[in-house]
Amino acid sequence: MRKAGLNIEEVKNKIRDLKGREVALNINRGRKKFDTLNGIIKDVYPSVFTIENQSAQLQTFSYYDVLCGNVIFL
């Protein structure tokens, strides 16, 4: 469910401001499974953003995932 008070442009702007910085994420994988990911926001695209972890693997997330609370910045 979407968080009240935020819109997609605000989420995009906040993530653009964090580009190049180290972040920690809590990711809801479904069925009460949560993963924690530490990495650097590598690139910001119109629909998605990528995070590179310590082992140089890229993970891609959409802004909608953040808006709905499936991806939470810690």
Domain ranges of the chain: 8-73
pTM for this structure?
0.85
DSSP 8-state class, residue 64: H
% the chain with pLDDT above 70: 93
**Cβ-contact 73, 66 below 8 angstroms:** yes
Rounded to an integer, the average pLDDT of 39-48 is: 94
Residue 74: band (very low, low, confident or very high) from pLDDT cuts 50, 70, 90 = confident
Residue 69: band (very low, low, confident or very high) from pLDDT cuts 50, 70, 90 = confident
pLDDT at 1 over 60: no
Name residues whose C-beta falls within 8 Å of residue 43's C-beta, 6 or more positions apart in sequence: 19, 49, 50
At 46, the amino acid letter reads P
Domain 8-73 listed as CATH 2.30.30.100? yes
Residue 4: band (very low, low, confident or very high) from pLDDT cuts 50, 70, 90 = low
**Cβ-contact 37, 27 below 8 angstroms:** yes
According to DSSP, the residues that pair with 26 across neighbouring strands are 36, 72
